Amino acid sequence: MNCIFRKPLSGSCALIVTFAVALLVSRAQSPPQASTPAAARKTASQQFKNIQVLKDVPADQLIPGMQFITASLGVDCEYCHVEHAFDKDDKKPKVTARKMMEMMITINNENFESHRMVTCYTCHQGGAHPISIPAIAEHEKKSDTEASTISAAGNPAPDSLLDQYLAAVGGTDALKKINTRVARGTVMAFGDQRMPVDIYAKAPDLRVSVMHTKEGESVTAYNGKVGWLSVPGRVHMMNVQESFGARMDADLAFAADVKSLYTKWETLPGEKIDGHDTWLVVGRKEGEPPLKLYLDQKSNLLLRLVRYTDSPLGYNPTQIDYADYRPADGIKIPYRWTIARPGSHFTIQVERLQQNVPVDDAKFVPPPPTPLPPSAPAH
């Protein structure tokens, strides 16, 4: 999504912008795999004006890179860019940002075998200016020896925990009996802002979410092949990376299928979530961001999922908390989930849910894409 959607707004317009951007960037989990031949894919310098540092990255990775900068520094696009003229170099922070990216790339190339160990966040940690003085911790830090003892002490096998999670939601047979799902509820954000939302899903992997605002409909969807996100006046077709995450969100049998998505799993002690002790089950695959699942130690239900959007500069995190599990047609479903990213979060509360009811296939037909303007962010 273009960085023009990061400009501070008010009222329902602000909500639709934050909702749309958060949904878009929460989808991606694995590095992009070209859906077209590599030679046919545009680079950032071919699609955008005045690109000087990230010239050779895929064009669809430039915006995630800009989102990583805004999250790392706690700023909006206009901190570096001239509004509506992103290709201009009039602002000093933009010139500085180029130097900092070159420095970061050099450090990683010369010291970490080109692995992305140092990022913008390494020094900035959410502030516009790098942090150079150690902070005084509020609590005494545990020793490395004590921490490693806790980490290694009798953690359950990840396969066992994932099997228990699957059983807790109803099991494979019960999940596979669900062909469609229609949910209606409310989006809550910015304190007292509330807007209706409708969600339609169809097995195995079709899903569309429609938020109704005064300005029009905000849509996030996946049709089994491609995902898209739209707000009034703009449509963004998801790249392969974003569509991979959207496909996971659309999977009505996620608990049965998640184990096959990653080649290696491990168990670590999880943090307390709303007073519940958890196990952290981490899925890994070579060259891809991890997937983190926090499972309730008593109920075995999924309480939190953390995933990452890859970008040329680092991972953009997304956290989804699940709550208010209720039985429905032999399975358990969270009726409330909260999606959080650096600087924004919103909650969806389901108020009515039906399963195995007719859902028109026309809901999953993508609209014509809206191309990004040529003057989009330049670096």
Counting every residue, how long is the chain? Answer: 379
- Select the more confidently predicted residue: 375 or 106: 106
Query: What is the per-residue pLDDT for 136?
Result: 75
DSSP letter at 61?
G
The residues pairing with 235 across neighbouring beta strands, listed in sequence order, are 230
pLDDT higher than 50, residue 21: no
Number of CB atoms found within 10 A of residue 309's CB: 24
The residues pairing with 280 across neighbouring beta strands, listed in sequence order, are 268, 294
Strands 216-223 and 227-231: antiparallel
Residue 185's SS3 state is: strand
Highest mean pLDDT among 4-8, 38-42, 84-88: 84-88
All CATH 2.50.20.10 domain ranges of the chain, comma separated, are 154-364
Q: pLDDT tens for residues 98-123?
A: 998 899 889 989 998 888 889 998 89
Closest CA to 162 of 262, 247, 281, 270: 281
Query: What is the per-residue pLDDT for 232?
Result: 86
For residue 145, CA distances in Å to 149, 267, 269 come to 6, 19, 16
Phi, psi (degrees; rounded to nearest 5) at 371:
-70, 150
CB 340 within 8 A of CB 317: no
pLDDT higher than 50, residue 376: no
Query: What is the per-residue pLDDT for 268?
Result: 95
Q: pLDDT tens for residues 283-304?
A: 999 888 899 999 999 999 999 9
For residue 317, CA distances in Å to 111, 128, 290, 339, 342 come to 25, 19, 11, 11, 8
Q: pLDDT tens for residues 75-89?
A: 888 899 988 888 888
Q: How many helices (H) and strands (E) does the chain have?
A: 10, 13
Average pLDDT over residues 342-348: 87
CB 124 within 8 A of CB 130: yes
CATH fold for the domain made of 3-124: Photosynthetic Reaction Center, subunit C; domain 2 (1.10.468)
Give residue 17's pLDDT band: very low, low, confident or very high (50, 70, 90): very low
Average pLDDT over residues 241-253: 87
DSSP letter at 217?
E
CB 332 within 8 A of CB 255: no
Q: What is the pTM of this model?
A: 0.80
For the domain 154-364, what is the CATH superfamily, name and number? Lipoprotein localisation LolA/LolB/LppX (2.50.20.10)
Closest CA to 70 of 288, 309, 346, 373: 309
All CATH 1.10.468.10 domain ranges of the chain, comma separated, are 3-124
Give residue 143's pLDDT band: very low, low, confident or very high (50, 70, 90): low
d(CA 260, CA 278): 22
Closest CA to 2 of 379, 373, 378: 373
- Name the average pLDDT for the chain: 83
Average pLDDT over residues 58-72: 85
